[in-house]
Amino acid sequence: MNKLKVEKVNFYSDVLGKEMSMLVYLPECYNSLRHMKINNK
């Protein structure tokens, strides 16, 4: 079974004009020192 890591990320939304937060699910192999591709289609 894969172990996922969940992190809460805060960011400012120019469109909404306020601070927002989101949960990001990271794969077990995630390494913050290495860039990962993001597909937002």
Report the domain count for the chain.
Answer: 1
Position 41 in a domain: no
Give residue 8's domain range.
1-29
In the prediction, which pLDDT does 17 show? 96
Position 1 in a domain: yes
Is there a contact between 38 and 27 (Cβ–Cβ < 8 Å)?
no
Position 38 in a domain: no
In the prediction, which pLDDT does 41 show? 61
pLDDT of 12 over the 60 cut: yes
CA dist 9 → 1, 13, 31 (Å): 25, 12, 16
Mean pLDDT, range 14-29, rounded to an integer? 90
In the prediction, which pLDDT does 15 show? 94
In the prediction, which pLDDT does 34 show? 65
In the prediction, which pLDDT does 40 show? 66
**Can you give the pTM of this predicted structure?**
0.51
